[in-house]
Amino acid sequence: MQLFITVGLTTLFSCLLFADATPPEGIYAPKCRVGEGLYDPAQAAVVPWLTVDLDLPPEQRYREIYGPFGAGMKEVIDTIKMMGTIVTGDWLIPLIEHLMQYAHDELFPSKYAKEIDGIAEATGLSVADLSMMNIYYELSRFCTSIVAENTNGQVFHARNLDFGQLFVWDIEKKSWHLTEALKKITVNLNFVKDGKVIFKGTTFAGHLGIITGMKMDQFTLSMNAKVKPDIGNVIKWLTGGYNGTDIHFGMWAEREVMEKANSFQEAKEFLSDIVQLAGCYYILGGKNHNEGVIIVRNETDVLDYVEMNTESGKWYVLQTNYDPDQEPLFIDDRRTPGNKCMMALGQSNVSASGIYEVLSSKTTLNKVCFRIFY
């Protein structure tokens, strides 16, 4: 049986206002766009490819490749700080900067602290600001991830990344300012060891983890945040509550599993066993028949597995930002339209173009979605 994996590597600047007639439910009503011929592979060239050499000392791995993104990274950081100041006044940001400096100096694993040092040297940004970027992304992402197997045995893994909601509306671009800023620093990475690409990932310049990744000829992975961020766990971590615990950030864990696991099953076990800072959903795809699973996590345990089983009609798994056994917030229901659109697509039509059209449909595509990854 032929298996094919595509992940995290085709992109689209999106989140456009649709020009069709307004339906009775209003302009925000679900609209499945399967069959509209939307897929353009040329969009893959929009996001740059960079190389991370894991054989280099940690402080040198990102220094050269992220240097040119310094201005874009600063725009993202300034937007986050501006929103914090709007909400709380002037007292919060200095406190966060102090805590992030402490996290870098005392809590981060050594290799990550050194990688941040290299980026800070190349960009002129402070290690406190770069540390904030790495922690903030753990807590605020709205996404839709899909793993699907077609009738030919080909497996596709795709995701939308929704980021930047409520962070200062850009009237001219009709989008959130943080969403627009993040577009400028989105990058694809080849991670190289001994001169060979061992895995690929997509992330934001300045972040040390990955958002979506593929271990060559083994497995694919995306991670969705939970709609309710685990702020309490972050405070516990900063105040020493996890001292002596090998605790993981979700996006760092995605990179770590790419480095350590050599099969779908090994990746599943790693992601099930680690202790992590915040609960999340790992969406894992493999290269073999029925290798697709959603791993529902809290900080210490697996709460549920949702597994693909084509023999029982479950030829895909789809995850947004809510536990599978919980109803999504009525103003943020991407699950129901997504499932309906997948059924409209049908298993025989699962392909890069077909999944792209599902993820380009309302409400899966929305005003904070700025990338579609395959």
pLDDT computed for residue 80 by the predictor: 87
pLDDT computed for residue 230 by the predictor: 74
According to DSSP, the residues that pair with 309 across neighbouring strands are 314
Report the chain's terminal Cα–Cα distance, integer Å.
21
Structure tokens at 369: 């979605």
Catalytic residue list: 143
Spatial CA neighbour of 119 closest among 188, 64, 38? 64
Cα-based torsion angle of the residue sequence 12, 133, 157, 19 in order, rounded to the nearest 10 degrees: -30
**Cβ-Cβ contacts under 8 Å for 184 (sequence gap 6 or more):** 69, 72, 75
> With pLDDT > 90 as the criterion, what percentage of the chain qualifies?
59
Structure tokens at 16: 């456009």
Q: Do 247 and 240 meet the contact criterion of CB atoms below 8 Å apart?
A: no
Q: What residue segments make up the domains of the chain, in order of their start?
A: 41-373
Q: Do 2 and 154 meet the contact criterion of CB atoms below 8 Å apart?
A: yes
| DSSP code of residue 25 | T
Q: For 140-190, what is each residue's pLDDT tens digit?
A: 666 889 999 999 999 999 998 866 454 565 667 666 778 888 889 999 999
CA distance 320 to 72: 28
Q: For 12-42, what is each residue's pLDDT tens digit?
A: 333 323 334 444 456 667 889 888 888 888 7
The architecture that CATH gives domain 41-373 is 4-Layer Sandwich (3.60)
